[in-house]
Amino acid sequence: MTGTLGMTHPRSVELVPPTLRTIPEAVTANIAIARARTRSRIMAVVKADGYGHGAGAIAHTAVAAGAEWLGTTDVAEAISLRATGLTVPILTWLNPSGVDAEAAAIARIDIAVGSLDELEALLKQNASSPVRIHLHMDTGMAREGCPAHEWDALIPRARQGQRRGKVRVVGLMGHLPLADHADPEANAPAVWRMRQARRAVIEAGFDEPLTHLAATSATLTDPATHFGMVRFGAGLVGIDPSETAELHAASRLTAPVAHSAIVKAGTPVGYSGTYVTDTSTNLSVLPLGYADGIPREISPAAFVEIHGRRHLVVGRVSMDQIVIDTGADHVPPGTTATVFGPKDGVTPTIHDWARWAGTIPHTIVTGIGSRVKRTIT
């Protein structure tokens, strides 16, 4: 142990702010894995700012790697991607603020329509050209999409809208409620519903629509769900909800040590003193907290990596900081700690953090706050 008991080490270097680095090579590798699992077209879904990794960077990398389509939450996100020079088809399927038909038509944005109300809202508008739509059917999720008992109303009304030049039905989509099970039998009912919907659309006089049902899990595990296109979203950044494929983590979160001190045995750490040191030890502070996306409730196993060594996170996570116990190692301010990154045997991964927090890795990467600097390696 070096230093003087209780001594606070002043900052002697300029601190690099907490930084989330996106790794494009990982996205490229993950697209290659998806391509090896399917013969269908690949839509790269970049909603939630590319799962927290930067929608533009992820989208450009995915398209360069072979993705033929992009998917977003709403038209505004899609238009932002268009502004970066992307010309591939883009589909949006939530649009919580409604759809501006003219904006969608001008920017060549496809819109998913999952109810008669959504369709009527489009048909009431006047656009310079027909809005391309994908009929969104409920195939077992009961979350979004048109229920089967309303297909007989939605499909003919869409046909009328197409004849009037208001819309053009080009696609058909649904969701798999049990795809994460990686069990084709669990997916079979949704596949059957999707086939029924496709048959109904064709019998109504439409050309065969581009049909898509599978997201990341089913892309990797069940070819029967692939139809004409698969939607690969979480998989782009290294998350496989089915836990069947070795995907590549597409980000690394680092933070500088902002403060270090030696404390006595029996020192309570953090709010409420939920952790008490059992020996004299070095403690360091990282300027990241729950306001930055570090889960407040984590298990005592949580750690970060510094210079190839693991150091436990101790005490409660604060809004702006966490404390790590570095034992006999004095870690001076400015030293970089890796909070998560690609799997290498020492560095924690987003899957580790999800396990420590009792959640899924999606919430870890999408929860990283705006105070964290973003960059691309």
Catalytic residue status for 275: no
The enclosing H or E element of 352 equals: helix 350-357
Name residue, tokens 């088809």.
89
Catalytic choice (47, 51, 166, 275)? 47
Catalytic choice (166, 271, 290, 343)? 271
Q: Which amino acid is at 242?
A: S
Reduced DSSP (H G I as helix, E B as strand, rest coil) percent helix, strand, coil of the chain, to 5: 35, 25, 45
Q: What angle do CA 258, 259, 260 make, to 5 degrees?
A: 140
Residues 318 and 226 sit within 8 Å (Cβ to Cβ)? no
Catalytic residue status for 47: yes
Selection from 44, 377, 73, 56 nearest residue 234 by Cα: 44
Residues 95 and 114 sit within 8 Å (Cβ to Cβ)? no
Name residue, tokens 């990282």.
286
Residues 132 and 123 sit within 8 Å (Cβ to Cβ)? no
Question: Which residues participate in catalysis according to the annotation?
Answer: 47, 271
